[in-house]
Amino acid sequence: MRGRLLAAGGLLGAGLVLGSAVPAHGEDAVAPTTLCQVTDPRLAELSGLVAVTDGVLAMNDGGEELAVHLLDAGCQVVDSQSAPVDPYDPEDMAVGADGTVWLADTGDNNATRTTVALLALRPDGTTGVYRLTYPDGPHDAEALLLAPDGTPYVVTKEVLGASGVYSPAAPLVDGGTVALAKVAGVNMTLTGTAGGPVGRAGQLLVTGGAVSADGRFVALRTYTDAYVWALTGNDVVGALGGQPVTVPLPDSPQGEAISFSLDGTSLLVGSEGTPSDLTQIPLAGANLPAAAPPAPEGAVPSFTDLTSSGLSPWTSALLAASVATVVVWISGKLRRKP
C-alpha cells in the first residue's frame, strides 16, 4: 500500500513563502488570504498541516491506515504516502529535522484509551508505533508540538481551557510503551472570536499545534484563535510559560489544522469538511515577541530532498457556556474501537 512520492518542485513557493523579513511590530494587520480550497474526499476531516518547500503536507482525522498527502498550489493532492498501520484517532502531524513525519494518534473524545501513540513514517518506507500513557488518566489531545531537537509535546483538549502539556519521561520505544510526564499547563481564554462547531466553548479547546521551521515560534490553535509564543532553542516549556500573542482566525466549520509558513511570517490554517479553505494569515502587525535568530538556510527539508531514497520522505529517531453542546458533539465523534 506504499505509494512512491513525487518530487513536487516548489509547488507552493509563491503562495506560502512570503518575504524573508520577520513579523513587524506596530504595523497594521494584513487580512487573511484564501489560498485554495481542499476538495479531496481523502481530506474531508483535515486535521494536520505542515508546510515544506515543495508544498503542504496534509493529514486526515481517522481512517483505516496512516496516510499523508502532498497538496499543490491549488490544494490538489499530487502525491500520497500510506502505510498499513490502522490508527485509532490521529489528530496532528509534525515533521522532524531528520525528515520523519510524526502523527499524533492521541484523539480520545470519550477519555477511555489506556494508551495513545506517536506514529512515525520513515524515509526507508518503514513505520514506527510508539505508545504512551498519561500519568493522570486518559485525555483527549489534538495538538502535537515537535521541538527543534525532536522532543515531542502533546497538548490536551480541555473543555474549560486549562490544557496540559505532556512529554515522554523516557526515550521512545518502537512497539513499546513509555510514560508521559506533565511538564506544563496552558490556559486558553474566551476571546469573543466566532467560529467552530460548539459555540463559545470552541474558544477554549486546543485543536492543533505547530513549531516554525526556523525554530523561532511555537503556536497552538483553538477553533477560533491562534496563540503564538517566541521559542528559544528547544525550550518549548519555557516558551509556553510566557505571554502569547493571540491571533483571531477566520470563521470555519471545525478548524483543527495549523502550520507556519516556511519563513515563519504567516500561519496556515484549515478546517474539517469539504470544500474547506486553506487560509494564510500574515503575522505582520501581530506584535510577536522577540525571537531567537532564524536557523541557517537549508534546514527545512523538501519533498525532493526527502524522497532521494525512492521510497517515502521521512526518517526516524527518535465555558464555557456550551459544555452540554460539547458533550453531544464529542459523543458524535466516538471512534469505532478503543
Q: What cell numbers appear for 21 in the block?
A: 523579513
C-alpha to C-alpha distance for 214 and 314, rounded to whole angstroms: 19
Give the position of cell 502523527: 103
Q: What percent of the chain has pLDDT over 90?
A: 67
* pLDDT attached to residue 289: 62
Tell if the pTM clears 0.85, that is, is over it: no
Domains in the chain, ordered, with CATH?
Answer: 24-284+296-332 (2.120.10)
Strand duo 141-146 + 162-168: pairing: unpaired
* pLDDT attached to residue 28: 53
In the predicted model, is pLDDT for residue 180 greater than 70?
yes
Average pLDDT over residues 16-30: 39
Q: What is the pLDDT of residues 244-293, one digit of tens each?
A: 999 999 999 999 999 999 989 999 999 999 999 999 999 976 667 665 55
Q: What is the pLDDT of residues 115-166, one digit of tens each?
A: 999 999 987 878 999 999 999 999 999 999 999 999 999 999 999 999 999 9
Q: Are 58 and 268 in contact (CB under 8 A)?
A: no
Higher per-residue confidence, 313 vs 108:
108
In the predicted model, is pLDDT for residue 18 greater than 80?
no
Q: What is the pLDDT of residues 71-91, one digit of tens each?
A: 999 999 999 988 888 899 999
